[in-house]
Chain A
């Protein structure tokens, strides 16, 4: 059974940092692209960042580029999102999602995690 379990969310002050993790199981992790999607309270879904199966290709939304960094440890079946210089507008539930294929251009959402809440506030 495929499972994606996010962790690492919490309350952080503006300008602070946080590292999210997404632990994957039930599939060959290195064979699939992975994506982070976020949802601010009462708002819609927003694509944040994607990584190819190997981790060699990584892309970011304009809103987070230069502040967030996606990475993965294929030996530990875990996806990460390092978030620096956090702002109030980064407050959201962060979901990780598995793609249907290796490349970032393959459809996303084969499976979704349940999300982890990040709150940026003083």
Chain B
């Protein structure tokens, strides 16, 4: 059973930079997993930030960027704002039609 790992929580100061990661319980994340990142506010549908590792979705500010760092996918937020406080999820394509979400990271801006 493949598990996608994310930090349960993270905090960042306003104006600061934070990097959230998305890993695999076994093995390394690569671009062939097509990692995507979503932001979800309470009671709202997810909002796609990044897809295919590093492509920003339409309308997403360039403060959000995606990459592969070591053996994980990463979402970096620069110039953190109060509005960035939210839950963030990654998803990985495991092949054979299977997608797996990470458990999510609760980001606090304070």
A and B bind:
yes
Task: Give the interface segment out of A7-15, A16-24, A81-89, A103-111.
Answer: A103-111
Q: Are A108 and B98 in contact (CB under 8 A)?
A: no
Which residues of chain B from 69 to 94 have a CB within 8 Å of any chain A CB?
87, 89, 91, 93
Q: Are B51 and A107 in contact (CB under 8 A)?
A: yes
Q: Are A114 and B45 in contact (CB under 8 A)?
A: yes
Give the Cβ gap from B18 to chain A, nearest Cβ, in Å. 19
Which residues of chain B from 30 to 66 have a CB within 8 Å of any chain A CB?
34, 36, 38, 40, 45-48, 51-52, 55, 57
The residue on B at minimum CB distance from A4 is B45
The docked-state distance in angstroms from the alpha carbon of A32 to that of B28 is: 29
The residue on B at minimum CB distance from A61 is B98
The docked-state distance in angstroms from the alpha carbon of A113 to that of B47 is: 10
The docked-state distance in angstroms from the alpha carbon of A100 to that of B65 is: 19
Q: Are B51 and A45 in contact (CB under 8 A)?
A: no
Overall SS of chain B's interface: strand
The docked-state distance in angstroms from the alpha carbon of A16 to that of B67 is: 44
Given contacts A108-B36, A108-B91, A109-B36, contact A47 B99 (CB under 8 A): yes
Q: Are B93 and A45 in contact (CB under 8 A)?
A: no
Which residues of chain A from 54 to 102 have a CB within 8 Å of any chain B CB?
57-59, 61-62, 95, 97, 100
Q: Are A115 and B45 in contact (CB under 8 A)?
A: yes
Give the A-binding residues of B (Cβ under 8 A). 1, 34, 36, 38, 40, 45-48, 51-52, 55, 57, 87, 89, 91, 93, 95-104
Give the B-binding residues of A (Cβ under 8 A). 35, 37, 44-47, 50, 57-59, 61-62, 95, 97, 100, 104-110, 112-115
Which 9 pairs between the two chains have the least Cβ-Cβ distance?
Answer: A59-B97, A107-B51, A109-B48, A47-B99, A44-B104, A112-B45, A45-B101, A104-B97, A44-B103
